[in-house]
Structure 1
Amino acid sequence: MINVKGLYHDYSGKGKYAVSDISFHIKKGEILGFLGPSGAGKSTVQNIMIGLLKLQKGEVSYDGRSVSRLDNSFYNNIGVSFEHPNLYTRLTGYENLKYFAGLFKVPTRDPMELLDQVGLIDSANKKAGAYSKGMKQRLVFARALINNPNILFLDEPTSGLDPTTANKIKAMIKKRQEDGCTILLTTHNMFAADELCDRVAFINDGKIVACDSPRNLKLQYGEKSVLVELQEGKEISKKIFFLDNEKDRKSFNEVVNSKNIQTIHSQEATLEQIFIRLTGRELA
């Protein structure tokens, strides 16, 4: 359904690419996760895909139709939830949704119903400027659903939310998928990616370094790992070793021989640990 091929973007115009040779596809009804740290290029790719950034080099197409040739009707079929809430702060939560609903030329959802679903019904008539960060995040998410989109672009939709509210948002995302919605989820939250995504693309320094289902990534990169707690002076530190990696195996043997081990556990690697293994950096 969505195809991205050889995507490049240079903000400076001096050949310094924020994203470089990005290629992937998303099938209809699939949730693809872009997993990477801040500044990795996730939002740049999303903004090109929705037309906020001009396509410089490469291809982005929807059912074979280039993003550069899409007209305004395209926006009737997509919903976007940005990481940094962009709201009309002098309008109430209800008024924000009502206003944005009026921009679409397709049937829209009841704003009060959406506010209820995201836990904002009691603040419907409160100005958005007085909302907390988490409340604003939920309002932006609700806004993304106002037009019953066929495609959703979600940028850190659970950022800053408490676990209960985050679970509610994740349940709504899964419900949209069950209804046939195609979803691109950009995040650095490995737990959300693992729980929600059919496939995950690891992006680092503007390039995709791996793309597969969370299970397949764990099978391919996550076998034979151990978590070791070490006594280093007065501090306890933790280190992860992948025993199928010669360098890690040598380091692990050196640690064992040092007799500083407090605990040791074999484990299935998390997506974050696999990301660290492939890139040498953390997701935060």
Structure 2
Amino acid sequence: IFGFLGPSGAGKTTTQGVLVGLLDLQQGDVIIDGKLREGRPDKAFFNRIGVGFERPNVYKKLTGLDNLKFHAKLYNGATEDAMKVLEMVGLGEEAKKKAGDYSKGMMQRLGFARSMINKPDIWFLDEPTMGMDPTTANSIKNIIRKKQAEGTTIFMTTHNMFVADDLSDRVAFIVDGKIVAVDTPKNLKLKYGQAQVTVEYTDSGELKSETLGMTGKDKELLLKFLADHDIKTMHSGEPTLEEIFIKLTGRGLE
């Protein structure tokens, strides 16, 4: 899973549009499976990819089930069972309702289901959990993990650093159309973050806390602090991806 991360307007969706063949490439190259793509993608390429849009368009006069069945007919080769996929995303009981009667979150899940109906081996997802409640988002993330375990390559664009950190094997930070860092989430934290420990201690009967660094000269200060105080608890922590992003770019994600 490759997480493509950046604030709104950074160029994430545009990049995905170029990769999936919806937008023309103005500069640079698109390489899929080590092969340079020249011109517009062919039908074979569209048969092997799945695309989950940030704001999916669905046929509102069709039921959720018929939406998936119609979409499945656009592909050559085997497809997923439409009802099974709806059940996977929690829409089994709403399968025969018209999509126009779905809530925004339900339409989001329908679009997600549609993106995997053709059993893609390359799966492009744009903000896959946006607007979902925590339970539904967790279910969607589990589906993504399952597909990854089955060998699917996943390119995921998002500005949600928690989702990216949770799912991605590698991430890239993009700002104003330029990639400023590419690595695993762990390596980015180790390279640009600062290891810290939060210590709770008592001082004249009052419980207090202090956050101290764990490297270089800070390590000596930490050891002295531990020796000089009545320590009650210690909790180590690492920086978040969002903190690393802000450190590298000087800006937040909104």
The TM-score normalised by the length of structure 1 is 0.74
Q: How does 1:83-122 map to 2 (within 5 A)?
A: 83-122=54-93
Deviation at 1:172, TM superposition (A): 0.6
* 8 Å Cα contact 2:29-2:36 kept in structure 1: no
Letter aligned with residue 41 of structure 1: G
Deviation at 1:70, TM superposition (A): 2.8
55-64 or 141-150, larger mean C-alpha shift: 55-64
Aligned to 1:156: 127
Q: Deviations over 1:116-148 (max 9, x none)?
A: 010001110111111111111110110011000
Letter aligned with residue 281 of structure 1: R
* 8 Å Cα contact 1:222-1:242 kept in structure 2: no
2:12 aligned with 1:42, yes or no? yes
Q: CA RMSD in A?
A: 2.0
* 8 Å Cα contact 1:49-1:67 kept in structure 2: no
**Structure 2 CA distance for partners of 1:207 and 1:241, relative to 1, 3 Å:** farther
Deviation at 1:65, TM superposition (A): 3.5
Aligned to 2:3: 33
3-state SS, counterpart of residue 84 of structure 2: helix
Aligned to 1:73: 44
Letter aligned with residue 91 of structure 1: L
Q: How does 1:158-177 map to 2 (within 5 A)?
A: 158-177=129-148
Structure possessing the higher radius of gyration over alpha carbons: 2
Instruction: Give, in whole Å, the separation in 2 of the partners of 1:226 and 1:84.
Output: 41
**Structure 2 CA distance for partners of 1:241 and 1:270, relative to 1, 3 Å:** farther
Instruction: Give, in whole Å, the separation in 1 of the partners of 2:38 and 2:31.
Output: 5
Q: Deviations over 1:252-273 (max 9, x none)?
A: xxxxxxxxxxxxx974110001
Deviation at 1:171, TM superposition (A): 0.7
2:251 aligned with 1:281, yes or no? yes
- Quick one: percent identity of the two aligned structures? 60
* 8 Å Cα contact 2:21-2:40 kept in structure 1: no
2:96 aligned with 1:125, yes or no? yes
3-state SS, counterpart of residue 29 of structure 2: strand
Aligned to 1:26: none
Deviation at 1:199, TM superposition (A): 0.4
Pick the aligned partner of 1:59 from 17, 29, 51.
29
Deviation at 1:214, TM superposition (A): 0.3
Q: Number of aligned pairs?
A: 222
Pick the aligned partner of 1:141 from 106, 112, 117.
112
Instruction: Give, in whole Å, the separation in 1 of the partners of 2:212 and 2:178.
Output: 25
3-state SS, counterpart of residue 28 of structure 2: strand
Instruction: Give, in whole Å, the separation in 2 of the partners of 1:206 and 1:226.
Output: 36
Larger % of strand: which? 1
Instruction: Give, in whole Å, the separation in 2 of the partners of 1:82 and 1:179.
Output: 22
Runs (5+) with no aligned partner, structure 1: 1-30, 228-239, 245-264
* 8 Å Cα contact 1:61-1:67 kept in structure 2: no
Deviation at 1:68, TM superposition (A): 2.1
Deviation at 1:57, TM superposition (A): 1.1
3-state SS, counterpart of residue 282 of structure 1: coil
Instruction: Give, in whole Å, the separation in 1 of the partners of 2:39 and 2:196.
Output: 45
Instruction: Give, in whole Å, the separation in 1 of the partners of 2:112 and 2:68.
Output: 11
The TM-score normalised by the length of structure 2 is 0.83
Instruction: Give, in whole Å, the separation in 2 of the partners of 1:119 and 1:105.
Output: 27
Runs (5+) with no aligned partner, structure 2: 199-210, 216-234
Letter aligned with residue 187 of structure 1: T
Letter aligned with residue 73 of structure 1: A
Instruction: Give, in whole Å, the separation in 1 of the partners of 2:151 and 2:242.
Output: 29
